[in-house]
Amino acid sequence: MNSLLIRNANLSGKCTDALITDGVFAKIAPGLEAPPDVPVIDAGGMILAPAFYNAHTHSAMSVMRSMADDIRLEAWLSDHIWPYEAKLTPDIIRRGVRLAIEEMIRSGTVFFNDMYWFPDITLEVADEMGVRAMIGPCLISNPLASFTRFEELEEAYGRVRDKDRLALAYAPHAVYSTDEALLRDTARRAAADGRFIHVHASETRKEVEDCLAAHGMTPVAWLDKCGLLGPRTILAHCVHLTPDDIRRIHDSGAVAAHNPCSNYKLCSGQFDFRAVYEEGGCRVALGTDGCASNNSLSFFDEMKLAALNAKIRSGDPECGKADDILAIATRGGAEAFGLHAGLIAEGWLGDAILLDPASPQLNPPGHLAANLVYAADTSCVDTVVCAGRVLMHGRRLSGR
């Protein structure tokens, strides 16, 4: 694990130092001395803040950025994305994942939850580039997507250098692409080994209508019946939820991964932040989805649109407060995946970003959460640290 001393940082308006030992914030106080052989960064008054945690993406799809824009989800998938994916090669996947991770680092993101093809390559690149990730093969009900793929991923996981940063998940694609047998087998396997489940849920109105026609219940209710809902389940999108769906998500402890930019771009609908989070008390995290449907992986874009979506959807400007949105992007996202991170405090994982206080978007320096959610962009991020390892400093990625 990595150790690091950050000196002269601005934390909540006070100048302080932060010592990360073996990947964890060991001491936060002014005037700290660096132990032998521990590297030092002089923040020079830069703002020390939590990093971001991406709850849902398909990282390799960065190679499809701007490939098929301004069309409906069903046509987007069947006419453009799936035909292109049939031609994917390991080299294309590697280039796409590397591009995505670089973009995420530059926007202050240190973790991503990934569902896609060739997950062993995604795992390898994430290990090399020093980020945190939870990775699952996209499971669908055809012979090419059996659990053999997951077993191959487990073999690749045995070769990674830092298992504390990386984890595996079961990733059945959605209720319309997986049959009951696969869903129940996923639930059984996850219950046995304690791994997370990552699945698209109630993304579009058509998905809900088709599930009602096929099973007589909503996608969330169907996933629940098949045994998939639980505190280690990540439900991507959750745009079209009934009150019963919200109750099931809350009672099971599952996490709704909100992807506002993708939802808006594909016209999937508006996530009901008030009903799900503020009134329903559900666990909510923030995701970007993939570049093919976003087309960015910036959490600043995602946070701002999440806040604006909450206000428009509820008709109340007091809904989706900046503090709440920043919380689901940082601590809420980390805790959704069992990470004791997302807060700059002793005993918490050593993930952090340093923000340039001279950035126009961070001035005047009144309410940091509001500035980050409503004004900031990736140019404000100077330094990114994950588990005590410096991934970017002075806007230059490590190794560049």
pLDDT tens over the chain, length 400 residues: 689 999 999 999 999 999 999 999 999 999 999 899 999 999 999 999 999 999 999 999 999 998 888 887 778 788 988 899 889 999 999 999 999 999 999 999 999 999 999 999 999 999 999 999 999 999 998 745 557 778 888 999 998 888 899 999 999 999 999 999 999 999 999 999 999 999 999 999 999 999 999 999 999 999 999 999 999 999 999 999 999 999 999 999 999 999 999 999 999 999 999 999 999 999 999 999 999 989 999 999 999 999 999 999 999 999 999 999 999 999 999 999 999 999 999 999 999 999 999 999 999 998 999 999 999 999 999 999 999 999 999 999 986 5
Q: How crowded is residue 128: how many other Cβ atoms within 10 Å of its Cβ?
A: 14
Query: Which of 42-65 are b and which e, b meaning 16 or more Cβ less than 10 Å from the residue's Cβ?
Result: ebeebbbbbbbbbbbbbbbbbbbb
- Among the listed residues 197, 141, 144, the one whose alpha carbon sits nearest the alpha carbon of residue 167: 197
Separation between Cα atoms, residue 272 and residue 278, nearest integer Å: 10
| CA gap 110, 274 in Å, rounded | 27
The pLDDT value given to residue 75: 82
Residue 130 CB partners (closer than 8 Å, separation 6+): 165, 386, 387, 389, 391, 398
* Whole-number Å distance between alpha carbons of 127 and 386: 12
What integer pLDDT is reported at residue 269 of this predicted model?
A: 96
> What residue ranges define each of the domains in the chain, with the CATH number in brackets?
4-50+343-397 (2.30.40.10), 52-336 (3.20.20.140)
Distances 180 to 177, 186, 214, 235, 255 between C-alpha atoms, Å: 10, 10, 11, 17, 21
**For residue 33, which of 18, 48, 43, 45 has the smallest C-alpha distance?**
18
Model pTM? 0.97
Predicted pLDDT at 78: 86
Nearest to 398 by CA among 161, 91, 102, 162: 102
Please tell me the predicted confidence (pLDDT) of residue 73: 72
Inter-axis angle of helices 148-157 and 119-129, nearest 10: 20
Cα(18)–Cα(179) distance, integer angstroms: 50
DSSP per-residue string spanning 333-365 = HHHHTT-S-SS-STTSB--EEEE-TT-GGG-S-
